[in-house]
Chains A and B, each alone.
Chain A
Amino acid sequence: MKIAVLLSAGRHPVSGAAVLPRMEAQAIRLAAGLGEAIGLHAGPDAAAVREALGLGLARIEHVAIPEGGDPVPALIARLAALAPDLVLAGRRGQGGAESGIVPYALADALDLLLIPDVIAVTSGDGAGTLTLDQSLGRGALRRVSLRGPVLATVHPDAPPPLAYAYGRARRGSIDGLGSAPTLTAGPDMAVEERPYRRRPKLVKGAPTGGSAAERLKAATGESGSAAKGRLLVEPDPEEAAREILAYLRQIGVLAASSGASSDASTPTP
């Protein structure tokens, strides 16, 4: 199976140093178990993604585009030529615009199936089929089997990246493919940039029109469930158990028992 992993020049979220985004490193790991994978980077400088060689890729193709240029046309051209069965990308960039729109633009242009937020990929039963596990948050999954080619974006819950190996990084190669026809997309949105300012976090359950005292109560957790809490002192253990189960069912974390309703309707002998 032919696999392409899209690589981007990221910035570390804390230090701001140039780094391969973690989700792309995770994508390399997902690809490693499946077949021959190559990296694909479109940007002014290939040094930004050299780290990916040490993380498990043997070869990276680099299409040079000018600084600030749109990578999408260059990637479309190269992917159309490669025609991989599986394209892996991070779900968001890191350090740039972080809009996560590039995979969607590629999938649309190349008529690929796009499956977002994938955490595992295995080859399926039939020829050319794949089984992807998609994260639905909170540990739940959707298992999707499909016929390729497919573009999948990787979710942070995917297995952690492989360890960096120096020898692998030395052996790997970066092939420059020349520069793409310069197609600098004008800024499609007139954005104004300024230093980031943190905004106050929304307090959950705080009344918007309420007084300062009410908002403080909501912030310290005194209102809500804690304020109207029920206290049972030294109840009968059976009674306590019934109360607990009823409470858990009421808030919906415990599946309701059909037995409780049936014994209410049928008189016990």
Chain B
Amino acid sequence: MTRLRRDPRAERTAIQVAGAARPRYDRTARRSSSGSGRPRRDPRAERAGQRVVGEARPRFDLSQVIRVEGPVIADTQPRATTAPAPPKILIVEDPAFLVAVVPDAPGGRLSAHDRQVLGAARALAGREGAVALLTLGACEGPGPAGADRWIRLDDGTEAYDPAGRAARIAAALNGLKPRHILFPESLDGGDLARRVAVRMGEPLFTNAEVVAANGLVRPAKGRRVEQRIAPGLLTTVAPDAVADYAGPPREARPVAVETEAASPAKLRILAAARVPADPATVPLALAEFVASAGNGITDLDTFRTLVAALRATPGASRVLCDAGLMPRHTQVGASGTVLAATCYFALGISGAPQHLQGVAGCEHVVAVNTDLHAAMIERAGLAIVQDAQIVMPALLRLLAQETGETP
């Protein structure tokens, strides 16, 4: 048996690209002539084929395997950066199973924790399943948060009746027959989940920190052990443990479930009234909005009036607390209170590292300082380089003017 004798030189001249000053060879052309039968891979072209079109930063869809068979033509033109097209809405037409989520949705808006639970549900649903959001009353933007279906029960009465609410949700869930049901482990959500679990007679896996199709994990025994289990029917998800849903928006198709009308239970709750937190007395660690004075503030009476007018909780830097100008329990920072506030309003505070540690968790910071290079000015979302002593009265004047206009 004889094999064809190869002539490398002749092969090379055959594939030389004509017209180039520097010798260039088109190696894809050789495959057809050399008859080894095995297609030749071109990693560069495969990579280029996986590139997601239309994004400024290169992104590659690695799930796509493209065999490039044709000749490689390197595209030398830089890609025109196209404006991102409106994202396509993902539709799960015929889900194999449902993963239900019952959010807190305070005031008809999904909280950050609710979004995380939807992310967890999305992870459990995978490709075949669908996430069904079950809300009492209106809810903003369920689709972008990852819901494929949306069951909206009517509000019912405004009265505080947690048992009746749990009964209606349990009835709706019985009608829906989901494979998994997730709740947020918050004050309200945790309460609802336990009521529903007792009502359905199903075990509840509480405070899950890992949610995946192959197992749920929760801490137990004072965080000495963790318990792992295959996903069951009822689960509550711990806060800040699971990432939000980040994919393209989903459909959130409205679905109706028929529930048998719940028999009106005898109401033993006579009255329930919400008492909002008093900003002047709420502990600093729980406060929503903190206004703080530092060494740059000399007129503390105006500061106190301003704090009361803004309905903020008063805080202070260590210098003022050490000097006895503000009570010690108002100190913000590493050796004082670490805040969980939404907004921090710093007046005349330089922003020492020890102080900034206390503010690290605050989402919004407003700073007034005479020093442009103070660390607090750098940290702030709205920074004002101005004397706080004249900004404070201006704020008070403006607030008084507004309240004067509205009788």
Contacts and interface: CB of A to CB of B under 8 A. Distances in A.
B198 A189 contact: no
A141 interface: yes
B212 interface: no
B43 interface: no
B377 A245 contact: no
Contact of A146 (B243, B269, B402): B269
**Which of B198, B209, B276 neighbours the largest number of chain A CB atoms within 10 Å of its CB?**
B198
Interface string B106-129: 000000100010000000000000
Contacts of A192: 227-229
B343 interface: yes
B299 interface: no
Contact of A242 (B194, B209, B277, B398): B398
A94 B229 CA distance: 21
Contacts of A251: 342-343, 363-364
Contacts of A245: 395, 398-399
B5 interface: no
Interface in A37-78: none
Interface in A187-242: 188-197, 199, 201-202, 204, 207-209, 211, 221, 224-226, 228-235, 237-238, 240-242
A189 B406 contact: no
**Which of A195, A229, A252, A262 neighbours the largest number of chain B CB atoms within 10 Å of its CB?**
A229
Given A196-B225, A211-B57, A241-B397, A140 B391 contact: no
A254 to B, nearest CB: 6
A253 B310 CA distance: 9
Interface stretch (B80-88, B138-146, B322-330, B379-387): B379-387
A243 B287 CA distance: 23
A113 B406 contact: no
A232 B204 CA distance: 53
Contacts of B283: 139
A248 B268 contact: no
A231 to B, nearest CB: 5
A234 B272 CA distance: 50
Nearest to A113: B268
A197 B219 CA distance: 9
B224 A230 contact: no
Interface string B350-381: 00000000001001111010001000011111
Interface size class of B (residues with CB under 8 A): 35 or more
Given A99-B206, A231-B385, A253-B342, A141 B274 contact: yes
Interface residues of A, number: 88
A241 B391 contact: yes
A267 B141 CA distance: 38
B220 A262 contact: no
B278 interface: yes
Given A257-B402, A259-B403, A101 B198 contact: yes
B203 A189 contact: yes
A204 B340 CA distance: 13
B41 interface: no
Contacts of B276: 140
Contacts of B226: 193-197
Q: Give the dominant DSSP class at B's interface.
A: mixed
A164 interface: no
A194 B225 contact: yes
A140 B379 contact: no
Contacts of B282: 138-139
A121 to B, nearest CB: 15
A114 to B, nearest CB: 7
B24 interface: no
B163 interface: yes
Contacts of A226: 365, 378-381
Contacts of B246: 207-209
Given A100-B194, A108-B198, A117-B191, 14 more contacts: A100-B190, A100-B206, A104-B194, A138-B287, A139-B282, A142-B274, A230-B381, A241-B391, A241-B398, A244-B391, A253-B288, A253-B364, A255-B311, A258-B406
25 contacts: A95-B222, A101-B206, A113-B268, A114-B195, A135-B187, A137-B187, A138-B277, A142-B273, A144-B271, A145-B270, A145-B271, A189-B205, A195-B226, A199-B210, A209-B246, A225-B381, A232-B383, A232-B386, A237-B390, A238-B398, A241-B398, A244-B391, A251-B343, A253-B289, A253-B364
